[in-house]
């Protein structure tokens, strides 16, 4: 891949024109959608069951938790960060919701929902506060600490066992329907629409991209960088709470082990969706596409009776391809800017 990049972007070999670079960049930006379409085509040819209405509905519902986590993870990655705690926070939030619902003898349905979401918000704030105010060198450190702390708390307060019983509101959100449409799909659609509005229409959204592009430059222009950094972790925690709602609603219980390794899958979905680990680049739509790519891989290989471990291998390969495409995009953009400077 590195040699391929050199051939495209090198000044001596290839002689890339401005038009060819534009076309290459357009192709790369459509990469996630192209990968998804190719996967759907391949699975349709390999399994007659894949493209049935029931299976497509299953894929979308199964992907809903991942999609919600990935939306939250996107905001953190946009500022060149990472949140390793979301899977553990998801599990803890299902437990706190179940405990509240059980303790109120079923009378605190709405309260249980609020507690699930609040659990995510609290841990998101702690992560952001420790990173910003604690002057930690990278969010990897506080979110890794929260990963262990949240999982430990979930196991301690539940005694390591599932807690049956969940608020009817939560159950409806996690497994109900509006007509033929599963509620998890509605939840994802609403959260994605809100995220798109926030990133595209609000000044705060522009601040997030600016901070991800260059923190010091953003600070010099008057952007409240610290508040922006804390807020993206709060959003990530809130999305972990919503993922907890969907999980608890589907299982009608609180599970202390729910969400194990889902933080890594969420990061993979964001990167596959074209977001950059360097920060400042990524869209909500592509993140949803990235989550669907992982969902299609898992569902398709299950239909084909392929060993579940190969799902991890396939996801890993696509993550590497996505990162290489990001490297290629950055070098093409640098080459494009150089050509424009020469023409000017």
Q: Are 101 and 167 in contact (CB under 8 A)?
A: yes
- Residues 292-316 have a mean pLDDT of 86
The yes-or-no verdict on residue 12 having pLDDT over 50 is no
The yes-or-no verdict on residue 4 having pLDDT over 70 is no
Among all chains, which residue has been given the structure tokens 């399994």?
Answer: 47
Percentage of the chain lying above the pLDDT 70 cut: 87
What local confidence, expressed as pLDDT, does residue 277 receive? 82
Cβ partners under 8 Å of residue 235, min gap 6: 72, 75, 124
pLDDT in tens, 49-108: 998 888 999 999 999 999 999 999 999 999 999 999 999 999 999 999 999 999 887 667
What local confidence, expressed as pLDDT, does residue 305 receive? 87
The overall pTM is greater than 0.85? yes
Cα distance between residue 153 and residue 80, in whole Å? 28
> How is residue 129 written in tokens?
């506060």
The yes-or-no verdict on residue 13 having pLDDT over 50 is no
The yes-or-no verdict on residue 220 having pLDDT over 70 is yes
Q: Predicted confidence band at 341 (pLDDT cuts at 50, 70, 90)?
A: low
How many Cα neighbours within 13 Å face the side chain of 183? 16
The more confident residue out of 45 and 21 is 45
Q: Predicted confidence band at 163 (pLDDT cuts at 50, 70, 90)?
A: very high
Q: Are 244 and 235 in contact (CB under 8 A)?
A: no
- Residues 20-39 have a mean pLDDT of 75
The yes-or-no verdict on residue 23 having pLDDT over 90 is no
Cα distance between residue 174 and residue 93, in whole Å? 14
Cα distance between residue 41 and residue 34, in whole Å? 11
Flag the least confident range among 31-45, 80-94, 131-145, 226-240.
31-45
Percentage of the chain lying above the pLDDT 90 cut: 62
The yes-or-no verdict on residue 189 having pLDDT over 90 is yes
Q: Predicted confidence band at 34 (pLDDT cuts at 50, 70, 90)?
A: confident
- Residues 287-301 have a mean pLDDT of 92
Q: Predicted confidence band at 25 (pLDDT cuts at 50, 70, 90)?
A: low
The yes-or-no verdict on residue 178 having pLDDT over 80 is yes
Query: Containing H/E element for 182?
Result: strand 181-182
Whole-Å CA distances, 55 to 44, 60, 317, 333: 11, 9, 25, 40
What DSSP designation does 139 have? T
Q: Predicted confidence band at 22 (pLDDT cuts at 50, 70, 90)?
A: low
Q: Predicted confidence band at 2 (pLDDT cuts at 50, 70, 90)?
A: very low
Cβ partners under 8 Å of residue 8, min gap 6: 14, 16, 24, 328, 331, 332
What local confidence, expressed as pLDDT, does residue 336 receive? 62
Query: Containing H/E element for 163?
Result: strand 163-164
What DSSP designation does 181 have? E
Q: Predicted confidence band at 11 (pLDDT cuts at 50, 70, 90)?
A: very low
């Amino acid at each position: 891949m590195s040699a391929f990049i050199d051939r495209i972007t090198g000044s001596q070999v290839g002689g890339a024109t401005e038009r060819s670079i534009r076309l290459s960049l357009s192709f790369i930006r459509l990469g996630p959608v192209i990968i998804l379409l190719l996967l759907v085509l391949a699975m349709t040819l390999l399994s007659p069951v894949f493209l049935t209405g029931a299976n497509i509905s299953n894929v979308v519902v199964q992907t809903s938790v991942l999609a919600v986590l990935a939306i939250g993870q996107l905001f953190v990655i946009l500022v060149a960060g990472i949140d390793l705690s979301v899977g553990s926070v998801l599990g803890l939030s299902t437990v706190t919701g179940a405990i509240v619902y059980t303790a109120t003898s079923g009378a605190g349905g709405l309260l249980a929902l609020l507690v699930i979401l609040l659990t995510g918000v609290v841990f998101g704030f702690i992560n952001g506060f420790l990173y910003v105010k604690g002057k930690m060198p990278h969010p990897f450190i506080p979110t890794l600490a929260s990963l262990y702390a949240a999982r430990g708390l979930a196991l301690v307060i539940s005694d390591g066992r599932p807690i049956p019983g969940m608020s009817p509101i939560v159950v409806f959100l996690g497994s109900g329907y509006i007509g033929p449409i599963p509620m998890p799909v509605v939840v994802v659609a609403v959260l994605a629409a809100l995220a798109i509005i926030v990133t595209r229409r609000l000044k705060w959204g522009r601040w997030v991209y600016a901070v991800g592009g260059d923190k010091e430059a953003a600070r010099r222009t008057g952007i409240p960088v610290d508040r922006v950094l804390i807020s993206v972790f709060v959003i990530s925690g809130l999305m972990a709470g919503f993922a907890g709602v969907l999980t608890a609603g589907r299982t009608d219980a609180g599970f202390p082990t729910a969400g194990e390794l889902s933080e890594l899958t969420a990061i993979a979905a964001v990167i596959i969706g074209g977001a950059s680990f360097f920060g400042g680049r990524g869209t909500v739509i592509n993140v949803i596409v990235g989550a669907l790519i992982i969902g299609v891989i898992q569902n398709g290989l299950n239909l084909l009776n392929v060993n579940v471990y190969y799902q991890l291998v396939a996801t890993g390969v696509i993550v590497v391809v996505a990162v290489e495409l990001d490297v290629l995009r950055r070098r093409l953009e640098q080459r494009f800017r150089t050509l424009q400077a020469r023409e000017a």
